[in-house]
Amino acid sequence: MQTAIADVEKVATLYDSAEGQVGPILFGGHMHWGYWDEVTGEGNFANAAERLAQIMIAKAPIKAGQKFIDMGCGFGESALKLAKAKGCFVDGITISKEQQLSAITRAEAEQLQERVRFIHGSALNIPCEDQSYDGGWFFESIFHMGHRKALHEAARVLKPGSTLLLTDLPLLPESTEAFKEFVWEHIHSRFVSREDYPELLAEAEFELIEIDDITDNVMPWLEPKLKEAIELHRPQVEAIIPNDTEKAIDDWLYLFEYMSENLGYMIVMAKKL
């Protein structure tokens, strides 16, 4: 089981780049993928990303007035929606300065700056006291950090009895070594299998509650829905990446196709012991 810690500077550079600003345009402000099924299969990427965010919010047993930590918060969209839905306080932390600044602007526009705070820093070294939070999540972010180290840091900052949620992209039996090397080099990510999770969580003093495998609702849809989103938002993409636009688009499509062939998608819920 490989759980190496990614180079945080490389991750920051990735998300601070022009290509890193394309995601929220394609995904409706979010920086995560979407949930589709036979009922909503016609929905676009933005609608599906919003639905997945709402699924995560519904699963989070955080209460009004409690404190929640979003570890790898992206542009802050899911953190803001959680705060509004639950009435809780949220701290989001991102390694990307561009994401932090954008998230702060969004919080101010929604007049949530008193309840939602966005921190520029590493989720492997969260600037807070032990047992500061009543709940938290990694929403499509833990694979950038190294699972073992990230889970131990989450255990440090969460209160006993609190719930940790995360989405992750588990390796499939057919995942190739070439794929693992590719994603480590190009998106600075290391993936693990579903079977690794009980041990990883136990080592960090979490009790596994459930694993919800939603691979069929995510992975087969990625490439076709990304193509639709790119065509819908092509002018915005061209404005952000005026040089080599087609190459950037091809890179996105290749990555999504490659990931959909080698990874699943799951939502994990665990309790801090």
**Which residue positions in the chain have pLDDT lower than 70?**
1-6
In a domain, 13, yes or no: yes
pLDDT value for 207: 98
With a threshold of 0.75, does the pTM exceed it?
A: yes
pLDDT value for 125: 97
In a domain, 235, yes or no: yes
pLDDT value for 6: 59
In a domain, 1, yes or no: no
pLDDT value for 2: 47
Strand spans (E) along the chain: 67-71, 89-94, 116-120, 133-139, 158-168, 206-213, 266-272
State which residues form the domain around 75: 8-272
pLDDT value for 3: 47
Query: Position of tokens 């394309």?
Result: 22
Q: What is the pLDDT of residues 93-122, one digit of tens each?
A: 999 999 999 999 999 999 999 999 999 999
pLDDT value for 252: 93
Structurally, how many domains does the chain consist of?
1
Q: Is-contact 118 104, C-beta < 8 A?
A: yes
Q: Is-contact 68 78, C-beta < 8 A?
A: no
pLDDT value for 27: 94
In a domain, 49, yes or no: yes
Return the DSSP state at 164.
E
Q: What is the pLDDT of residues 195-220, one digit of tens each?
A: 999 999 999 999 999 999 999 999 99
In a domain, 32, yes or no: yes
DSSP letter for each residue of 74-105 = TTSHHHHHHHHHH--EEEEEES-HHHHHHHHH
In a domain, 262, yes or no: yes
In a domain, 3, yes or no: no
In a domain, 242, yes or no: yes
218: domain CATH number is 3.40.50.150
CA distance 259 to 6: 18
Q: Is-contact 224 46, C-beta < 8 A?
A: no
In angstroms and rounded to an integer, the radius of gyration of the C-alpha atoms of the chain is 18
